[in-house]
Chains A and B, each alone.
Chain A
Amino acid sequence: MTVRPATADRPGVLGAISDYFFAHPHRFTILLLAPPLLWIGVVYIGSLFALLLQSFYSFDDFSGQVVREFTLSTYGKLFEEANLLVILRTVAMAAIVTLASAVIAFPIAYYAARYARGWKKALFYLAVMMPLWSSYLVKVYAWKLVLAKEGIITWLAGLTYLDGALSALLAMPVIGGPSLSFSYIGTFLVFVYIWLPYMILPVQAALERVPGSYLEASADLGADPGQTFRTVIFPLALPGIVAGSIFTFSLTLGDYIIPQIVGNSRYFIGQAVYTLQGTAGDIPLAAAFTVVPMLIMAVYLTIAKRMGAFDVL
């Protein structure tokens, strides 16, 4: 009687390959990960590194050439008043947009996570996602018309005898302007509209993971709804809010189209980068400007982590 071996090599090339990878699972993992890692490593990190390198060169105003020598003088230029104002303006706008998005997104996300079921939930996803399907430029130009002096908001204000209030709003220093579409208020409104879905979805996902029994437990232990919100719901939603704010904050920091179409003519970081790398050809300063949002995000995420925003993840 012949004894069949407990293991036998399978026939064919495919069999041999699969036997080989079964015996060497790590090599299989490496093979699978190689293409995406190359993409991230070379295309993403590589280009970021090239950018970082550029920011340590300088620009010769006289010859209009990039001087390929290591210097910190380009970063020094960021601290000139005009450039510093661009940075401060952008960061302030990003912060306010993020805050407003979080405040508006939370109740929507909470309703969707806790109450919406069936078709209501489908409607929620549709309502949140549908604006993302249409062109960003179309939406921004649509907003320009909505906010224009001849637009629907001015018209509605006139109809409801609120034109006085609108004029008072536009007469406010800094945030006001000749019309909503030429003021920071307009820029702010469009930013919030455009980025809102990026805040709603992560917050909703975070709230979705909070079982109803946590809320019952906190009520059971004596917490009224306000206390439950502060001590249970909000801390558990925080990772979602932080995730959403990474989108709203960094997207606002880098955007150069919205402030160009809706707003006054003062630059945001994105516009500064766009102008510097274009006609001016000052790639080093443009690169240095680009590093600013990255640094700000790094600081922001570090603070968020310290605050325990990711503890529940």
Chain B
Amino acid sequence: MSDAVRFENVSRHYGSVRAVDGVTLSIAPGEFFAMLGPSGSGKTTCLRLIAGFEQPDSGGIRIFGDDVGGVPPYKRNVNTVFQDYALFPHMTVGENVAYGLMIKGEARPDREAKAARSLDMVKLGGYGDRRPSQLSGGQRQRVALARALVNNPKVLLLDEPLGALDLKLREQMQEELKALQQLLGITFVFVTHDQSEALSMANRVAIFNDGKIVQAGTPADVYDKPASRFVANFVGSSNVLAPDAAARLGGLSKWTSLRPEKIAVVDPGAAAPADHFNASGTVRTLNYQGSVSRLTVECDGTSLVAAVPSASVAYKSGDRVQLVWPRSAMVTMDGEA
């Protein structure tokens, strides 16, 4: 079976700016795929290339095996949930959802029934007669989702779909999107700059920087084995150690990532278990964050951050402590920032 979406060495330039620079990627059917990266990293341009709003300057794009080079958006069987939702203000919610079906020429009763069902699916049953302006941000987001899904697209594209929502609503929508994707089995491709959103929702993540994919894999892969300094810093937080610092702490003389939650804080002089490294130092700052606390510890001129359960913290600033972490927690990586 062919890939849902396949990029073959795709580039898109704006003048001298390489928005997308030689990207090759494949997204499997039924996958929940996240494109993660800082703003201007090319992730949104990739999404727009799939939708057809942009055409690649070089390289090829296939959607379920069909080369879509030169195919306009309205002839592609993909639908988009826009960042600003782009609901038509002169139509009711129901008309918005039924728009794609109307364009296809479906009879009014059919498309109204389908639109109503689609609105039910996003828990907005009975809202069909309202205007988009009468809805809250979260509700508009659901309408945009229903409007895209009612067309039964082969690939659903989501451009920063939850960016404008507040935290509570965002977490709730993350769960609902995941459930919806599993229910429908449609390939979802979504763009986000929020790494926690990408990790929690996607089956697979591609991390973008400067128009290139710097790493792709499952959320656990990219989190546990960051391929470069950029990924280690961008996905979660990490102690990124320069080669000399890594060597001093027992690792190899290479750029190394050490996740704060892998580090345990114990009394000085306590014996380290086998296969563990340790280092002693002085607590500089203590940052309480609810369930965990982050301690910054100065060890031989290297600052290490350790994240430990708040309940177990018995130290204060200035205390001598010993840090202990498994050897495997030190992940060597490419030095590219």
Contacts and interface: CB of A to CB of B under 8 A. Distances in A.
Contacts of A232: 88
A222 B103 contact: yes
A135 interface: no
Interface centre among A222, A227, A232 (most CB of B within 10 A): A222
Contacts of B102: 231
Nearest to A213: B86
A235 to B, nearest CB: 5
Contacts of A231: 99, 102-103
Interface of A: 211, 213-214, 216-224, 227, 231-232, 235-236, 308, 311-312
A217 B252 CA distance: 52
30 contacts: A211-B84, A213-B86, A214-B86, A214-B88, A216-B53, A216-B73, A216-B82, A217-B87, A217-B88, A218-B88, A219-B52, A219-B53, A219-B74, A220-B51, A220-B53, A220-B74, A220-B79, A221-B148, A221-B151, A222-B74, A222-B100, A222-B151, A223-B74, A223-B103, A224-B74, A231-B99, A231-B102, A236-B90, A311-B90, A312-B90
A257 B80 CA distance: 55
Contact of B82 (A213, A235, A311, A312): A213
Contacts of B51: 216, 220
Given A214-B86, A231-B102, A232-B88, 4 more contacts: A221-B79, A221-B100, A222-B151, A224-B74
Nearest to A215: B86
A213 B51 CA distance: 12
A221 B90 contact: no
A220 B90 contact: no
Contacts of B104: 222
A312 B89 contact: yes
Given A211-B84, A216-B53, A221 B147 contact: yes
B72 interface: yes
Interface in B138-169: 147-148, 151
Contacts of B103: 218, 221-223, 227, 231
Contacts of A213: 82-84, 86
Given A236-B89, A308-B90, A220 B99 contact: no
Interface in B39-97: 51-53, 72-74, 78-80, 82-84, 86-90
Contacts of A224: 72, 74
Nearest to B150: A221
Contacts of B89: 236, 312
B74 A217 contact: no
A214 B86 CA distance: 5
Given A236-B90, A312-B90, A219 B72 contact: yes
B86 A211 contact: yes
B205 to A, nearest CB: 24
B281 to A, nearest CB: 51
B129 to A, nearest CB: 14
Contacts of B90: 235-236, 308, 311-312
A239 B72 CA distance: 30
Given A221-B79, A221-B147, A223-B103, A216 B86 contact: yes
B35 to A, nearest CB: 18
Contacts of A218: 88, 99, 103
Contacts of A222: 74, 100, 103-104, 151
